[in-house]
Amino acid sequence: MGESVKHLVNVFSSPTISFLTLFAIFFFIFPPTEWFAAINRRLGIYKLWTGKGGVFIFTVMITGHCLSLTDPNYRAIVLKPDNVPIVLLLFSTVFFLWLSMKQAYANDARLAQGLKPNEYEVPEKRKVLVWPDLVYTELIVMVLCMVGLLVWSIVLQAPLEEPADPSLTPNPSKAPWYFLALQEMLVYFDPWLAGVAFPTVIIVGLMAIPYIDTDRSTSGYFSFQNRKLFISLFLFGWLVLWVYMVIVGTFFRGPGWNFFGPFERWDPHKVAALNNVNLSEIIYVIALKQTLPDNVLVREIWGILLTSFYFMGIPPLLAKFRLKGFFERMGSMKYSWFMFLSLMALSLPIKMILRWSINLKYMIATPWFNI
Amino acid sequence: MVDNTSNTDAPLSRRGFLSWMTVAWVFFAAAMGGFLTMCGRFLFPNVLFEPPSSFKAGFPDQYSPGAVSVDWKGKHRVWIVRTDDRIYAILARCTHLGCTPNWLPNESKFKCPCHGSGFRMSGINFEGPAPRPLERVRIGLAEDGQLLIDKSVTFRQEKGDWENPDSYLMT
Amino acid sequence: MAEEKKNKNPFKSVIWKSIFRVQVPQDRRGRMMQVLNNVFLHLHPVSIPKHAVKVKYTWCMGGLSFFVFLVLTVTGILLMFYYVPTTTRAYTDVIDLAETTPLGIMREIHRWGAHLMVITVWLHMFRVFMTGAYKPPREFNWAIGVILLTLTMLLSFTGYLLPWDQLAIWAITVGSNMAAATPLLGREGPGAALVSIGDINLVTPLSDAKYGLLGEREVRGGALLRFYVFHCIAFPVVIVVFMAVHFWRVRKDGGVSGPL
């Protein structure tokens, strides 16, 4: 019984299955549009963001974690000192996600009844003195934090591996955990994209958020209903493309950067066939049964067309038909930025799916750059 | 009196003032630009103190055909491969992000532990994210008949360098 | 007897009064003055909205990030007394830190604190997003916050090399090779061949972005010293400047966010 459950979890957590499942259900949990929100209401998913929902989430997480600790392979990876922060990150992220969504839904209910949000105070009564109210809270939180940090430092020794040796790369060899999402992207994109272009887009994109989403009426309190599109997309980027990738990179990537389930032993001899082909080969060699053209431009024209259509064709088409109202409300400048950032974020899952389904290596492969 | 002295000089016209401002700004920008360039250039040292790049790797006979020698990987980061008719030296540096791959004799391939790139015995990439084959380095014979490997000269397959006679040794 | 007992109250003793000019404030005016007249407390306004003192609303994550930064500064300075950033000494110095220094957990506090700071900064950003606190007029402060987030990760990343173990050298090797893949400026990056004068290529292993970052071609002693300087001086100075602007803008942009 236990073994078969473990096997099932191993299979399920492989990136192909778990990522696609997450991708499929994510927008029902955090609905970006009214269509998704209606299904969310019908299925009652919003009940996760209540006291009972929280108890449910944490019971499942903690029991699952404790039961899994009986497995030696799970224990080996989760209790590794350098991985402790990720366990902390996982639990705290889920907790704060629940806390913010609970308050957001409570405020949404108040707004629906025509009340002000919970954070609102009547102007005459709203102020309290910083000394002592805030200063004491800060002091208590600081002391608790320091105690926690000290206990952590006494219990767990900071890891130190073998001395540096340039001729021997450890297997697996990982970046610091907070960059593991980037390292995961490196599997699917060339270094100049995953290591340079994507981080730049992430930083610029984060900075651009307040210049795109300028609606002041939802400022300063937890809410969801009136800004669901932005929250949903932000959470997709933050939870799925960053935190999930960090967890996959930390716990599920073993020797040879192969995938290993949480209860699987890290076998350095595991072989995974990875014969990747470029789009040009798929089109000319496999579909058209020809040889590859010698001219690079002719060879790569399909990839170039598809990529340009993705970034330059999709936004105007959506503006014309599906997102007409949104486009008119936002204006062309904000709309273009919004679409560019969303399409960049979506390009990662798209490339991942293409890699798994048709072993795609590059959309465009030239001697100068690859995409 | 005071009025008189100030009136003897021609008053600085609006246009004249602006052109002086432009000159001043251009000089200021040039000075700042020059200073920042110097600061940036400071980060690029002119001389490097690196270990010597060439070494002697024993006699050709001690390598058996069809095998990959990992003897020099630890010290010099180079594999020496002998095929039926030639010997060449491959730099043990993954072309993806510079990790050191491992030679897996059972599967007859080089496998990089960082992101899973795989290379055949020739150094040609066939799996994983590596964009191009491993680089070969110059190989020749020293006066005493030993192999002489020079890592400062590299040969890339995609540039057609592997046909260069310096990149291999006929046996 | 009663009077003698009263004098034993340490807050009213002559010595206490001689050191501290101000009494523990008992009235509203005194409490306001306590914040206004103190160089450290004046980061705060005198009074704030009720919801802003609730941990449920703020999660305290911004303040905790700052506090952990202070802890890291103190422990970092202490570690610098024993650590020498050379390839021969770095690794053994790190071992000695645990074994030959009193209170051998200084490095632990620094390392786990660094992890903790990354998490608290992330969660702070998450809270600010979820409350819509980045909206006008706070847009620019959000942008500064993103810079602080980036600097936090860079600080953590540069510190990663210093123990000079296998984990360190290979994480930085991979990271610095990404610099070599920068478009135009990196030797492996797209368009590097275009940056040339005639036949002379300007972007070579001795002139590209990776070389400028490490000060040499591979991760060796020069890179170790360079990362040490980035980690201990350059980035902390920059992050302190941005933090000052960040805190100042919180006040100037209307204090902690709240519903209109």
- State pLDDT tens for residues A96-126: 999 999 999 999 999 999 998 988 877 766 7
Tokens of A184: 């995961």
Question: B161, B113 in Cβ contact below 8 A?
Answer: no
CA distance C125 to A210: 13
Question: A175, B99 in Cβ contact below 8 A?
Answer: no
CA distance C181 to C190: 7
* Most C CBs within 10 Å, among A131, A135, A144, A222, to test the C interface: A131
Residue C35 has phi, psi (to 5 degrees) of -75, -40
Angle at A30 (CA atoms; ends A28, A34), nearest 5 degrees: 70
A contact residues 276-295, partner B, Cβ 8 Å cutoff: 276
For residue B168, pLDDT beyond 80: yes
Helix (H) or strand (E) holding C62: helix C61-80
Residue C10 vs residues A79, A342, B77, C1: alpha-carbon distances, Å = 48, 63, 70, 17
Comparing CA positions, the residue from B112, B163, B115 lying closest to residue B136 is B163
Residue for token pair 């994210």: B129
CA distance B100 to C173: 10
In percent, the amount of chain C with pLDDT more than 90 equals 50
Chain A contact set for B96 (CB, 8 A): 186, 191
Question: What would the pLDDT profile of A180-229 be if each residue is shown by its tens digit?
Answer: 888 888 888 888 888 888 999 999 999 999 999 988 889 989 999 999 99
Question: What would the pLDDT profile of C16-54 be if each residue is shown by its tens digit?
Answer: 888 877 777 888 888 888 888 888 888 888 888 888 888
The pLDDT value given to residue C135: 92
For residue A52, pLDDT beyond 80: yes
The pLDDT value given to residue A266: 82
Mean pLDDT, rounded, of chain B: 84
Put simply, the answer to whether A220 touches C258 (Cβ < 8 Å) is yes
The pLDDT value given to residue B145: 85
The pLDDT value given to residue C1: 46
More confident residue, C50 or A59: A59
Helix (H) or strand (E) holding B81: strand B78-82
Mean pLDDT of B109-135: 84
Using DSSP's 3-state secondary structure scheme, residue A163 falls into: strand
Angle between helices A228-235 and C106-130 (to 10 degrees): 150
pLDDT classification of C7: cutoffs 50, 70, 90: low
* Cβ-Cβ contacts under 8 Å for C222 (sequence gap 6 or more): B45, C214, C215, C216
**A256 and chain B in contact, CB less than 8 A:** yes
Chain A contact set for C242 (CB, 8 A): none
Mean pLDDT of B98-103: 86
* Cβ-Cβ contacts under 8 Å for C114 (sequence gap 6 or more): C72, C155, C156, C159
Peptide bond into A163 cis (omega under 30): no
* Cβ-Cβ contacts under 8 Å for B97 (sequence gap 6 or more): A186, A191, B114, B115, C173, C174, C177, C178
Residue for token pair 């490097």: B48
* Most A CBs within 10 Å, among B71, B100, B106, B151, to test the A interface: B100
The pLDDT value given to residue A273: 60
Question: What would the pLDDT profile of A220-253 be if each residue is shown by its tens digit?
Answer: 899 999 999 999 999 999 999 999 999 888 888 8
Mean pLDDT of A282-290: 81
Number of H helices, E strands in chain A: 17, 1
Q: What is the DSSP letter of B62?
A: G
Which chain A residue has the Cα nearest residue C256? A220
The pLDDT value given to residue A225: 92
Question: C235, C151 in Cβ contact below 8 A?
Answer: yes
Tokens of C189: 């990056």
In percent, the amount of chain C with pLDDT more than 70 equals 97
**B151 and chain A in contact, CB less than 8 A:** no
Task: Return the exposure string of C111-142: e unless at least 16 CB atoms fall within 10 Å of the residue's CB, then b.
Answer: bbbbbbbbbbbbbbbbbbbbbbbbbeebbbbb
For residue C2, pLDDT beyond 60: no
Question: C107, A149 in Cβ contact below 8 A?
Answer: no
* Most C CBs within 10 Å, among A178, A203, A232, A296, to test the C interface: A178
Range with the largest mean pLDDT of A204-208, A253-257, B124-128, C170-174: A204-208
How does DSSP assign B113-166, residue by residue? Answer: TTT--EE-TTS-EEESS--SPPPEEEEEE-TTS-EEEEEEEEE-GGGTGGGSGG
CA distance C107 to C105: 5
Tokens of B36: 């920042």
Question: What would the pLDDT profile of B56-88 be if each residue is shown by its tens digit?
Answer: 888 888 888 888 888 888 888 889 998 888 888
CA distance A200 to A191: 13
Question: C203, C184 in Cβ contact below 8 A?
Answer: yes
Mean pLDDT of A164-182: 83
The pLDDT value given to residue C5: 54
Mean pLDDT of C148-170: 93
For residue B2, pLDDT beyond 70: no
CA distance C173 to C179: 10
Put simply, the answer to whether A272 touches B118 (Cβ < 8 Å) is no
Q: Is the CA virtual torsion B48, B49, B50, B56 positive or negative? A: positive
CB pairs under 8 A between A and C: 271
Task: State how far Cα A362 lies from the chain centre.
Answer: 23
CATH number of B54-170: 2.102.10.10
More confident residue, C8 or A148: A148
ipTM: 0.93
C contact residues 189-218, partner B, Cβ 8 Å cutoff: 206-207, 211-213, 215-218
Mean pLDDT of A40-54: 93
pLDDT classification of B52: cutoffs 50, 70, 90: confident
* Cβ-Cβ contacts under 8 Å for C40 (sequence gap 6 or more): none
Q: List the single residue in A100, A157, A173 with the smallest CB-CB distance to C170.
A: A173
Residue for token pair 């060699």: A285
**B108 and chain A in contact, CB less than 8 A:** no
**A368 and chain B in contact, CB less than 8 A:** no
Angle at C118 (CA atoms; ends A201, C111), nearest 5 degrees: 135
Peptide bond into A132 cis (omega under 30): yes
Q: Which residues pair with B79 in a beta bridge?
A: B90
Tokens of A367: 């001697």
Question: What would the pLDDT profile of C116-145 be if each residue is shown by its tens digit?
Answer: 999 999 999 999 999 999 998 999 999 999
Using DSSP's 3-state secondary structure scheme, residue A270 falls into: coil
Q: How many other C-beta atoms lie within 10 A of the C-beta of residue A55?
A: 10
pLDDT classification of B6: cutoffs 50, 70, 90: very low
The minimum CA-CA distance between C14 and chain A, rounded to whole Å, is 25
Helix (H) or strand (E) holding C69: helix C61-80
CATH architecture of C53-160: Up-down Bundle (1.20)
Helix (H) or strand (E) holding B42: helix B14-42
* Cβ-Cβ contacts under 8 Å for A265 (sequence gap 6 or more): A73
Comparing CA positions, the residue from A327, A347, A328, A348 lying closest to residue A338 is A327
